[in-house]
Every structure is written in structure tokens, then in C-alpha cells.
């Protein structure tokens, strides 16, 4: 398709962005969509189908954001669409329990060992915020350990050396968060279990939980080193603290049972988002019954939400989870696609004698423009974000829609065929020769 865009801006996206900036901060409803750090106007998307997005000017892109993870089956999946329409025809929201909420909770509980009981919320942020409050309520302790470069949504106490949009903007925290909110948040080094042990030793009997992205995907993609997650499991058990797996990205992506299944580690609490909503706003947190029964109305840990368990959102999420469960062999297919795409990217880099790094696992991956192996926040930050911006712009010229930040992931879907991957690799090869 002939590309109808200027070297700098697409006409309608440009006009829409100018209008948007009048009414929405930075013209976007989530900072990382602003494309500020790559110096371009974001493409306003009109529609999506499979691996493709169509922008406001009718340009077509191969999409590797996939709504930041939810669209693991590709855009516009028919079964999910039909489920949403059928649910919407019965009404959008009742503020009362519905059968679909029971169905999705039972479906997940019966298949996810670490989520015997679950509570639905409306975002990953809400899921993590609630899980932290629950861990504190259950243990009677206040301190939590998180990892530099991990991002768990934007609740106050977790905006400490966070990843994703904060790392993109080069800010470790946020204005408006009083010191009191983060005073009990301790920051450890990803892939350094000793840094966690030291915090436990320095704060005996005070740490409620350790929260971790079992595969970090908000400082770019950083894999857990051999034994790292197991050591966290051991340290939490030894210190009567809860291990929280933030599986908002990895949940139902690395395996149907997420990173917990993939690495064979059982967390005490798990948080979900993205894929469990099938593209609709859904988050959830879950754990064993004795912990989850601390949550209101049963217990003293309060948490609530007007649209939690929204029937239309539940229908979308349940439809997607059922498809993933019924075709679990597709996880091997996703991994094959990942191996082909990211493995070939790595081969091209090496063939050209470039120092860049490709980290990947399953359908998640990313390129770091640094010569250092990227294993944590410190090494991720050695990446050259200017080269990333040039890479991003070159791939966009080839019609490849990437996350607009060095510190995000590429998301593959089942709809990314071999031909799509070949086109992407051809664009990547050109980018490696010309940025």
C-alpha cells in the first residue's frame, strides 16, 4: 500500500494531536502513547485487524504494541467481538453480581494454582495497589520490596525507581507523591537476590511482601537469572513475607499459567491485567483462600470498584481465556514466532558486527542499544535512547508500529504470520544498516 504520510507527520493524526492537546494532557490518556521521546506525532488509530492497525490517514501498520499486551490473539478476534456484542445487548453495567463474573473467576481459579480466589478490578494498577494493601493487612507489616526498573502501575507507593513511562521520561518517581507514601517502599536490584536478603536482614519482621515482575518488561525485556525467582520464594517463606508475582504482562502470555507455570514457582499473590480483559479494562488479584478472605466484605482489607467485574468486560476476558486454554498448543507456536523474530534480529545484529543486545522470552522481546548485557535497571539505562528513536522512526517508515520507547517490550500475537515476521525482519535489516 502506498504510504500517505509526510516524512514527519501524517496529516489527520497531526490535526487530531493538535486538537487532543487542547483537551487532554499531552494529547494522550497515557504518557507513553505521546511519542514525545521519539520526537514524532503518534498515529491515531482508526481500526485493527489481526496484526494490522489502520491509522486516521488510512496507513496500514504491522503492530507490535498489541495494546501493550492484551491482543495476544490479534486485533478484532471474531469470538471475542461476538461475546462483547452479545453481552452489550443484555445491558452494559448493573452494579450487581452477574453470572459471567462467576464464570471467569471459576475458570481462572480452577486452572491457576496460585489464584484459588480472585477479585476483579479495572486495571493492572488497581490490581497491584489492592494486592499490596492486602499483603500489608494479612501480615500486619508495612514495608514492601520492589525492584528498580519494575513497573507495577501508578499507585503512589510503587512509584519508586519505576520502569515503563517513568523510565522513558527519565524520572525515578512522580511529583505529588508525599514521602510518607514511599517511606515503606524498599528498592532492590533485579537479578540480585542478595540485595533482597540484605533488606530483609535490615528490616527484620517488617516486610509484608516482595513484588516482582517475574519477567521484567518495563525496562525493556529483562529475564530472571538462573534461580533468582526461586531465591525470592525462599527468602519470602523464610521471613513470613508474601511473594507477589505481578503478571499483568506475563500472565496468560508466557504460558496459560503465566510465569508461575513457566518457571514453576508459586507466589502467594498474583496480579493480572491486559490479556484477562481481552482488550477491555480489566485487572485482577488473587491468592490462596486464607489470604483473599481478608478482603472486604469478608475481612478488614477494604477494596471496591463501581465497574469491577463489568459484564461486557468479563465476557471479553472470558472469551479470550477460553480460546487460549482450548488451544494451549498455541503457546508453543507463540514461542516459535518469538524465536524466529527475536532470534533472527539477534543474528542480523551479530552479522553486522553491531554491539546491540536482544533479550527475549516466548512472545516478548526487545532490542537494547547498548553494548552491555542487560540484566537490570542499571544496565538497561546504558542504552542509547537517541539511536532507539532513529530505529523507531525507520521501522515506522517501513510500516512497523513499535512501542515508542527503549524501555518497553515488543508483543507478538498469534496473528503474526511467518510472512509478517519476514516483512518485519526486512525492515529491521534496513534499520540496522541505516540508523
The residues assigned a catalytic role are 151, 246, 274
Residue 335 CB, nearest distance to ligand KE4 (Å)? 20
229 or 248: CB nearest ligand KE4: 248
Q: Assess 273 for contact with ligand KE4 (CB under 6 A).
A: yes
Region of 88-96, 124-132, 193-201, 300-308 interacting with ligand KE4 (CB under 6 A): 124-132
Residue 30 CB, nearest distance to ligand KE4 (Å)? 3
- Taking CA 122 as the corner, what is the angle to CA 116 and CA 125, rounded to the nearest 5 degrees? 85
Euclidean distance between CA atoms 149 and 391, whole angstroms: 22
Stretch 53-82 residues interacting with ligand KE4 (CB under 6 A): 68
Q: Assess 312 for contact with ligand KE4 (CB under 6 A).
A: no
Stretch 315-344 residues interacting with ligand KE4 (CB under 6 A): none
Q: Assess 284 for contact with ligand KE4 (CB under 6 A).
A: no
Q: Assess 310 for contact with ligand KE4 (CB under 6 A).
A: no
Residue 29 CB, nearest distance to ligand KE4 (Å)? 8
| Total residues in contact with ligand KE4, by rule CB under 6 A | 20
Q: Assess 278 for contact with ligand KE4 (CB under 6 A).
A: no
Report which of 181, 189, 135, 183 is spatially closest to residue 154, judged by C-alpha positions.
Answer: 181
Q: Assess 399 for contact with ligand KE4 (CB under 6 A).
A: no
214 or 349: CB nearest ligand KE4: 214
Q: Assess 267 for contact with ligand KE4 (CB under 6 A).
A: no
State which of residues 34, 41, 59, 125 lies at the interface with ligand KE4 (CB under 6 A): 125
Q: Assess 285 for contact with ligand KE4 (CB under 6 A).
A: no
Site string for ligand KE4, 137-176 (x = CB under 6 A): --------------xxx----------xx-----------
Residue 120 CB, nearest distance to ligand KE4 (Å)? 13
Region of 123-131, 186-194, 311-319, 354-362 interacting with ligand KE4 (CB under 6 A): 123-131
Contact residues for 29 (Cβ-Cβ < 8 A; gap 6+):
none
Residue corresponding to grid cell 519477567: 215
The three cell numbers of residue 99 are 453470572
Q: What is the CA radius of gyration of the chain?
A: 21
Site string for ligand KE4, 16-35 (x = CB under 6 A): --------------x-x---
Contact 266, 236 (CB under 8 A): no
Shortest Cβ contact with ligand KE4: which residue?
124
Q: Assess 245 for contact with ligand KE4 (CB under 6 A).
A: no
Stretch 186-215 residues interacting with ligand KE4 (CB under 6 A): 213
Q: Assess 434 for contact with ligand KE4 (CB under 6 A).
A: no
Chain residues in the site for ligand KE4 (CB under 6 A): 30, 32, 68, 123-125, 128, 151-153, 164-165, 213, 218, 246, 248-249, 273, 283, 408
Amino acid at each position: 500500500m502506498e504510504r500517505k504520510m509526510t516524512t514527519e507527520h501524517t496529516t489527520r493524526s497531526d490535526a487530531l494531536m493538535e486538537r487532543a492537546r487542547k483537551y487532554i494532557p499531552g494529547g494522550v490518556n497515557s504518557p507513553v502513547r505521546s511519542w514525545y521521546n521519539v520526537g514524532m506525532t503518534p498515529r491515531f488509530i482508526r481500526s485493527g485487524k489481526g496484526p494490522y492497525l489502520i491509522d486516521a490517514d488510512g496507513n496500514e501498520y504491522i503492530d507490535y504494541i498489541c495494546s501493550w499486551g492484551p491482543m495476544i490473539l490479534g486485533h478484532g478476534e471474531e469470538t471475542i467481538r461476538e461475546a462483547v456484542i452479545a453481552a452489550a445487548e443484555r445491558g452494559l453495567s448493573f452494579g450487581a453480581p452477574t453470572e459471567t463474573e462467576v464464570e471467569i473467576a471459576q475458570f481462572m481459579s480452577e486452572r491457576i494454582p496460585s489464584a484459588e480466589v480472585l477479585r476483579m478490578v479495572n486495571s493492572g494498577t488497581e490490581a497491584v495497589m489492592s494486592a499490596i494493601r492486602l499483603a500489608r493487612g494479612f501480615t500486619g507489616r508495612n514495608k514492601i520490596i520492589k525492584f528498580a526498573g519494575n513497573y507495577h502501575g501508578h499507585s503512589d507507593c510503587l512509584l519508586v525507581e519505576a520502569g515503563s513511562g517513568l523510565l522513558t521520561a527519565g524520572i525515578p518517581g512522580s511529583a505529588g507523591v508525599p514521602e510518607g507514601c514511599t517511606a515503606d517502599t524498599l528498592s532492590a536490584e533485579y537479578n540480585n537476590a542478595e540485595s533482597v536478603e540484605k533488606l530483609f536482614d535490615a528490616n527484620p519482621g517488617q516486610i509484608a511482601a516482595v513484588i516482582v515482575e517475574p519477567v521484567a518488561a518495563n525496562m525493556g525485556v529483562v529475564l530472571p537469572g538462573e534461580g533468582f525467582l526461586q531465591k525470592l520464594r525462599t527468602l519470602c517463606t523464610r521471613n513470613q513475607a508474601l511473594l507477589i508475582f505481578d503478571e499483568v504482562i506475563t500472565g496468560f502470555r508466557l504460558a496459560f499459567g503465566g510465569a508461575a507455570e513457566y518457571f514453576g514457582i508459586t507466589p502467594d499473590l498474583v496480579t493480572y491485567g491486559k490479556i484477562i480483559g481481552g482488550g477491555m479494562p480489566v485487572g485482577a488479584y488473587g491468592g490462596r483462600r486464607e489470604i483473599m478472605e481478608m478482603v472486604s466484605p469478608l475481612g478488614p482489607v477494604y477494596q471496591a470498584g463501581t465497574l469491577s467485574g463489568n459484564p461486557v468486560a468479563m465476557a471479553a476476558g472470558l472469551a479470550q481465556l477460553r480460546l487460549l486454554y482450548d488451544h494451549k498448543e498455541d503457546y508453543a507456536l507463540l514461542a516459535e514466532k518469538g524465536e524466529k523474530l527475536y532470534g533472527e534480529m539477534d543474528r542480523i545484529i551479530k552479522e553486522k558486527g553491531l554491539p546491540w543486545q536482544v533479550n527475549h522470552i516466548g512472545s516478548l522481546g526487545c532490542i537494547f542499544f547498548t553494548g552491555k548485557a542487560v540484566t537490570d535497571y542499571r544496565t538497561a539505562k546504558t542504552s542509547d535512547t537517541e539511536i532507539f528513536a532513529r530505529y523507531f522512526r525507520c521501522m515506522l517508515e517501513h510500516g512497523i508500529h513499535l512501542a515508542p520507547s527503549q524501555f518497553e517490550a515488543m508483543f507478538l500475537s498469534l496473528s503474526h504470520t511467518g510472512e509478517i515476521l519476514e516483512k518485519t525482519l526486512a525492515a529491521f535489516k534496513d534499520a540496522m544498516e541505516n540508523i
